[in-house]
């Protein structure tokens, strides 16, 4: 029974979970489209982007986005460099009439840029390297629950490269990896409560104990997730601690039930 539960957990994580995540992602995008909350929509909402690597970060603001071409109008680039101590220092600002992302670079037109403490320099055209893919540049990061299991490692890398915290996505990845263990532990826990013969009585107490343990596991899992999301404990600890404790409790109860 535990082996079948583990196999079902693997199937859930690798097949059923990605299908559900894809459906949730479609729902999120359709809701944003219907409600008109898509960045750069006809309402003229400003577009904010962020990208970079360990050495440089760029915060990009577009006054609005052309729907046909996808380019930004009245764009401003705030460029930061990372020092040897890990602190980010503002180094340059560039304003451009238009900014178009293509083939791993931003093409700026009618631009003016100035580094800290220096006079502004004007450019008819200026190219800035970019690590954003054209098709994903103006997409918001999907929620962790909307990200398929197979896409989570790449999503974590993208988020960290852009300078954002990826704790929620790391926690989600570790929770999915721990899912088969949760399934197996819960099946062993159920088996321990099923071993006692009904003719021996005490069925009501066993039922209440099973319900209490179920709620205890749910509370522990939620509490551990909250601690992981708040970065009080590492995501790997927050994700794996509840199933490991549940498995230990299940084996302990199983041994006591069988051997007394």
Tell me the per-residue pLDDT of 74-95, one tens digit each, with 9 for 90 and over.
Answer: 999 999 988 888 788 899 999 9
Q: For residue 151, give every residue at least 6 positions away whose Cβ sits within 8 Å of its Cβ, in sequence order, or none.
A: none
For 244: left if phi > 0, alpha if psi spans -120 to 50, otherwise beta; the answer is alpha
Q: For the residues 88-116, what does the mean pLDDT come to?
A: 89
Beta-bridge partners for 57: 52, 80
The model's pTM: 0.65
Six-digit token pair at 73? Answer: 């109008």
Model pLDDT, residue 215? 87
d(CA 99, CA 197): 74
The predicted pLDDT at position 44 comes to 57
pLDDT at 158: 76
d(CA 162, CA 135): 16
pLDDT for the residue numbered 39: 47
Residue 240 confidence (pLDDT) above 70: yes
Copy the structure tokens of residue 227: 């601690």
Q: Give pLDDT tens digits for 132-190.
A: 765 555 555 667 877 888 888 888 887 777 666 788 889 999 999 999 999 999 888 88
Query: Virtual CA dihedral for 237, 243, 246, 247, nearest 10 degrees?
Result: -110
Closest CA to 5 of 239, 246, 170: 246
Which contacts of 100-106 are long-range, i.e. CB under 8 A and separated by 24 or more positions?
A: 100/69, 100/70, 100/71, 100/72, 101/70, 101/71, 101/130, 101/132, 101/134, 101/137, 102/134, 103/134, 104/129, 104/130, 104/131, 105/129, 105/130, 106/60, 106/77, 106/130
Q: What is the mean pLDDT of residues 97-107?
A: 86
């Amino acid at each position: 029974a535990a082996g079948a539960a583990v196999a079902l957990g693997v199937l859930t994580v690798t097949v059923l979970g990605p299908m559900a995540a894809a459906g949730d992602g479609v729902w999120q995008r359709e809701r944003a489209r219907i409600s008109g909350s898509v960045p750069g929509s006809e309402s003229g909402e400003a577009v904010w982007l962020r990208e970079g690597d360990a050495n440089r970060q760029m915060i990009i603001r577009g006054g609005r986005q052309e729907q046909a071409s996808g380019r930004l109008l009245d764009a401003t680039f705030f460029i930061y460099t990372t020092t040897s101590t890990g602190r980010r220092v503002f180094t340059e600002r560039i304003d451009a009439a238009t900014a178009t992302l293509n083939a791993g670079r931003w093409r700026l037109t009618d631009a003016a840029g100035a580094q800290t403490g220096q006079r502004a320099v004007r450019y008819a055209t200026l190219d800035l390297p970019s690590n954003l893919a054209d098709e994903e540049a103006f997409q918001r990061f999907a929620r962790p629950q909307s990200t398929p299991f197979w896409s989570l490692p790449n999503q974590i890398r993208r988020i960290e490269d852009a300078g954002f915290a990826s704790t929620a996505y790391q926690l989600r990845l570790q929770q999915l990896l721990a899912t088969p263990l949760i399934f197996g532990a819960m099946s062993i826990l159920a088996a321990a409560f099923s071993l006692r013969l009904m003719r021996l009585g005490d069925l009501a107490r066993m039922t209440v104990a099973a319900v209490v343990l179920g709620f205890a596991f749910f509370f522990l899992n939620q509490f551990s997730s909250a601690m992981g999301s708040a970065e009080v404990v590492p995501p790997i600890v927050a994700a794996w601690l509840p199933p490991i404790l549940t498995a230990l409790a299940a084996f302990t109860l199983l041994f006591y039930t069988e051997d007394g």
